[in-house]
Amino acid sequence: MPNPNKVTERLFQSPSKYIQGPYAIHNAAKYLGKLGKAPLLLCDEIVWNIAGKELVQALESAGFKVYRAVFGGEASREEIDRLSALGRQETSDFVIALGGGKTIDTAKTVADDLSVQVAIIPTTASTDAPCSALSVLYRPSGEFQCYTFFDKNPNIVLVDTTVISKAPARFLAAGMGDALATNVEARRVGNSPNFGGGLPTEVSSAICQKCEEILFKYGKQAYEANKAHAVTPALEAVVEANTLLSGLGFESGGLAAAHAIHDGMTAIEELHKLLHGEKVAFGTICQLVLDGVATTELDRYIELMLSVDLPVNFEQLGIPNVKDEELRHVAELACAPGETIWNLDRVINVDIVFGAIKAADAAGRDYIKRHGWKKE
């Protein structure tokens, strides 16, 4: 039920500073110096070779003492406890997240455990995690566990678009899948408290709409630029939409069915290989089905998703033979107490959500059949 506590205050929150541009890592010391001089750097081995060495060189040449901790791959409580212990051992005075969504969510939680500030340096534009004051935690097995909320947003978000452009284009597409949900969900939950505990402001609604506008205007063009590892105005715009606009939009605008269904989908083991935004994209089709949008409107979203190779049906998700009982379990998890689907101002139950999931698959298959779409 939306707004059971009858909240009337409007609330908007954001990071203290957001910086984006090519070769931004080279100027990291200028922006991070106010946070401390002995950071705990979280990144995995792949990211270390892509951008970690370059970042440490830039910081150490400016007098920073960086302690590198290898991220194990899962944003779990066990991993957070391990990394927090390293931070205490090294007396780190702030935390740097260098990597993707799970590295970022882990670093925010570690910084909260250590009561220090956090700087986020994403190496992909695959999620809207960098800007928010929350983390999504998973069990070591990969299943969704819970949201964790913090008192404030990250202090610095530094986005190097040269680094982003070198990542596989699949990550940018996944970020678009995550960001496409932002306006679809937010426009249906205006009477529900957002993640800060207040109602959405006019500016949060405007940000959500601008996010969607950029994705439809530049999404395909940016995807192709990313394939060519080229930093272009279109790529810059979509990176900002995926990272800043979607991050501000979902947190201060609110989530609904798309993300709740994503959370339920993590219970299907075959989907663990998919990126967060790839599952959210399908959840967005489910949300649009629940909203009862016209076929022409539904087609518009499916067309964009297919143009950047996002999954729109069970076969593309990699579960062509998924059983109804598995899908019903997804619906049950999506309707769990406290899930974001309850922000919707409409009747919701497991049967309705189960039907929406089945209908979303049918809509994706129908679009492909009607338009004769084939993967390039």
DSSP letter at 334? H
The contacts of residue 88 (CB under 8 Å, 6+ apart) are 114
| Known catalytic membership, residue 272 | no
Decide: residue 210, CB within 10 A, 0-12 exposed, 13-18 middle, 19+ buried. middle
- Tell me which of 112, 263, 276, 361 is the catalytic residue: 276
- Tell me which of 259, 263, 291, 361 is the catalytic residue: 259
- Tell me which of 128, 262, 263, 291 is the catalytic residue: 262
In which order are the strands placed within the sheet that holds 67-70?
17-21, 156-160, 117-122, 94-99, 39-43, 67-70
| Known catalytic membership, residue 81 | no
Pairing of strands 94-99, 39-43: parallel
The pair of structure tokens assigned to 143 is 């299943």
| Known catalytic membership, residue 262 | yes
CB 15 within 8 A of CB 131: yes
- Tell me which of 44, 160, 178, 291 is the catalytic residue: 178
Strand ranges, E, within the chain: 17-21, 39-43, 67-70, 94-99, 117-122, 134-138, 144-149, 156-160
The residues annotated with a catalytic role in the active site are 178, 259, 262, 276
